């Protein structure tokens, strides 16, 4: 006997579980199917983000940052420590606890919002009158029917050709978050968000970290001035970053991994490391979904083809998050999930792709929203720029963290904010003000005239807005 639902969501990551909650809030009889298992084989909803992505990486970044502060910066505050040690197993155990709290939180939210949860793999059976048949393969098998289906099956790490992940020596993000002892030498292929964050964790704990990147430009998606500042800071910290390399071979041998590559000038080089993290991007995941059964259209990358409203080629079938086009970010997936649930309810769900914030949780943190200076130049847009360094911010001095700056880009005529770029302390939090401002189409002058608490890092945001009009007060 099949169980009937108005909405069935396949995938319980940030795109899926949020879509399910919003659909239930809107009065739909909603189910969410997710197959992720914890170490004991039980349900672990939350997807990549909760289990092997955003949340555990931030837990390790926090622990390793505490360690680095204790080792290098406590002395400045008159605090001395003897015999400072890092218990990696405990750090990883704490990270696992944080993950479990988030898994349990989602199960609680399902109950609270009356979302029926199925633990197992969901796949298309067939189209039936007024909807679809979905089978769930878990501890028990179930058949569901749904009028509307939301697909949120996420993405998987991309492996290097010829060097599959063994999660012992050649690691995806999954293995990178489970390293049991500080490696002496750590190699990372890919200087993107994940590579930089993971590299920072293990460098802070004492590993000799080399990051190899195929692209010639460091953080090409970020504003050039900000990327340059960040590169300077990371290099000073001891991260070795080689740009423009061409990897020819990766071989797990003996106790380590040997990497053969050509550097940016074409010279043959080699690197031997204890562990290698490969973070060269992610591929959309539709494994086990059985898209052929209903004729669901995928593109050449394997992503589910959707229109601007997340509609697939099938009536009543929607897709959100990493499995569709657009940036692979948890908050983008969530916004799409909410918008789709609201569209199913006949409302006007909306996602503004122009104001999606980007954050890299390194130290200094990097965050931005809107357009970069190089993009404005390329588009021939007339703009004004203003920057303010944290070096001139009282709170940053008190914190002992004065690296970086806030940068504003505004339209030359209307003064509308076109982009805000931050490298520095708490950039991840500071960027929210810029996102709100851009959503409300604020001008740089609007931010410059708003009273910001003193002393706070947010005063650097106000000052950068003032700098657009060349009238900073503290620099
Ligand atoms: C190391 C790392 C750090 C990251 N840090 C950040 C960050 O700081 N901020 C940020 O915004 N983003 C970050 N991301 C990206 C973020 O994790 C993803 O963008 C986000 O998880 C995408 O959400 P999603 O719901 O589309 O898919 P996912 O989170 O991948 O969830 C998909 C879920 O669907 C399940 N599933 C798949 N197929 C089926 C099926 N057939 N049946 C049942 N279940 C199925 C999967 O098991 C999974 O639980 C990070 C990623 C990584 C790897």
User: Domain-by-domain residue ranges, the chain?
Assistant: 3-157+283-351, 170-280, 355-468
454 belongs to the catalytic site: yes
d(CA 128, CA 328): 32
- CATH superfamily of the domain spanning 355-468: FAD/NAD-linked reductase, C-terminal dimerisation domain (3.30.390.30)
Q: CATH says 3-157+283-351 is which class?
A: alpha beta
* 289 Cα nearest atom in ligand 1: 41
Q: How far apart are the first and last CA of the chain?
A: 71
The rounded radius of gyration (Å) of the Cα atoms in the chain is 24
Longest dimension (CA), the chain: 73
State in Å: Cα 373 to ligand 1 middle: 30
- Judge whether 170-280 and 355-468 match in fold: no
pLDDT in tens, the chain (475 residues): 789 999 999 999 999 999 999 999 999 999 999 999 999 999 999 999 999 999 999 999 999 999 999 999 999 999 999 999 999 999 999 999 999 999 999 999 999 999 999 999 999 999 999 999 999 999 989 999 999 999 999 999 999 999 999 999 999 999 999 999 999 999 999 999 999 999 999 999 999 999 999 999 999 999 999 999 999 999 999 999 999 999 999 999 888 999 999 999 999 999 999 999 999 999 999 999 999 999 999 999 999 999 999 999 999 999 999 999 999 999 999 999 999 999 999 999 999 999 999 999 999 999 999 999 999 999 999 999 999 999 999 999 999 999 999 999 999 999 999 999 999 999 999 999 999 999 999 999 999 999 999 999 999 999 999 999 999 999 9
CATH of domain 170-280: 3.50.50.60
The protein residue with its alpha carbon nearest to ligand 1, atom 30, reads 154
Instruction: Tell me the HSE value of 334 on the side-chain side, using a 13 A CA sphere.
Output: 10
d(CA 474, CA 163): 53
Task: Tell me the CA distances in angstroms from 334 to 27, 66, 331, one per residue in order.
Answer: 19, 30, 5
Write out residues with Cβ below 6 Å of ligand 1: 10-16, 33-36, 47-49, 53-54, 57, 121-123, 152-155, 173, 194, 285, 288-289, 321-323, 328-331, 333, 361
Pocket test for ligand 1, best of 22, 38, 42, 54 (most atoms within 8 A of CB): 54
Closest CA to 449 of 412, 415, 401: 415
Q: What is the 3-state secondary structure (H, E, C) of 5-58?
A: EEEEEECCCHHHHHHHHHHHHCCCCEEEEECCECCCCCECCCHHHHHHCHHHHH
CB contact at 8 A, 331 and 383: no
* 123 Cα nearest atom in ligand 1: 41
State in Å: Cα 68 to ligand 1 middle: 29
Look at residue 366 and give its three-state secondary structure. strand
Look at residue 373 and give its three-state secondary structure. helix
Alpha-carbon dihedral sign for residues 185, 188, 191, 193: negative
- How much is the pLDDT for 245? 98
State in Å: Cα 153 to ligand 1 middle: 8
Given the residues 73, 77, 331, 454, the one annotated as active site: 454
């Amino acid at each position: 006997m099949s169980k009937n639902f108005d909405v069935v969501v396949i995938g319980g990551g940030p795109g899926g579980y949020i879509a399910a909650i919003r659909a239930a809030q809107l009065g739909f009889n909603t189910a969410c199917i997710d197959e992720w298992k914890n170490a004991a084989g039980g349900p672990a909803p939350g997807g990549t983000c909760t289990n092997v992505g955003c949340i555990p990486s931030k837990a390790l970044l926090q622990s390793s940052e505490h360690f680095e502060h204790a080792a290098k910066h406590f002395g400045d505050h008159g605090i001395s420590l003897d015999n400072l040690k890092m218990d990696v197993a405990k750090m990883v155990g704490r990270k696992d606890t944080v993950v479990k709290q988030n898994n349990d939180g989602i199960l609680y939210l399902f109950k609270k919002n009356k979302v029926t949860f199925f633990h197992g793999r969901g796949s298309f059976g067939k189209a039936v009158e007024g909807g679809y048949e979905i089978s769930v393969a878990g501890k028990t098998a179930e058949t569901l029917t749904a009028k509307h289906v939301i697909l949120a099956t996420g993405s998987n790490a991309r492996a290097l050709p010829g060097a599959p992940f063994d999660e012992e020596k050649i690691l995806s993000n999954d293995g990178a978050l489970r390293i049991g002892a500080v490696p002496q030498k750590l190699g990372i292929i890919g200087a993107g968000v994940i590579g930089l964050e993971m590299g920072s964790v293990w460098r802070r704990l004492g590993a000799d970290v080399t990051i190899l990147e195929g692209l010639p430009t460091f953080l090409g998606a970020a504003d050039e001035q900000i990327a340059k500042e960040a590169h300077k800071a990371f290099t000073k910290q001891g991260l070795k970053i080689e740009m423009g390399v061409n990897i020819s071979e990766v071989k797990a041998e003996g106790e380590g991994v040997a990497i053969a590559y050509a550097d940016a000038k074409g010279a043959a080089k080699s690197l031997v490391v204890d562990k290698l993290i490969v973070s060269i991007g992610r591929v959309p995941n539709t494994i086990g979904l059985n898209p052929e059964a209903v004729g669901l259209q995928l593109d050449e990358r394997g992503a589910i083809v959707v229109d601007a409203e997340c509609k697939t080629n099938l009536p009543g079938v929607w897709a959100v998050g990493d499995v569709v086009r657009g940036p692979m970010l948890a908050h983008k997936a969530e916004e799409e999930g909410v918008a789709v649930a609201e569209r199913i309810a006949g409302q006007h769900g909306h996602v503004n792709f122009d104001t999606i914030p980007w954050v890299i949780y390194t130290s200094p943190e990097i965050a931005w929203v809107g357009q970069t200076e190089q993009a404005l130049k390329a588009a021939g847009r007339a703009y004004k720029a203003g920057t303010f360094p944290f070096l001139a911010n009282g709170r940053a001095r008190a914190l002992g963290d004065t690296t970086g700056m806030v940068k504003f880009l505004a339209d030359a005529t209307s003064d509308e904010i076109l982009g805000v770029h931050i490298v520095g302390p708490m950039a991840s939090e500071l960027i929210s003000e810029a996102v709100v401002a851009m959503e409300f189409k604020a001008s740089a002058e609007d931010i410059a005239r708003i009273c910001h608490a003193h002393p706070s890092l947010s005063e650097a945001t106000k000052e950068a807005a003032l700098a657009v009009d060349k009238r900073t007060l503290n620099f």
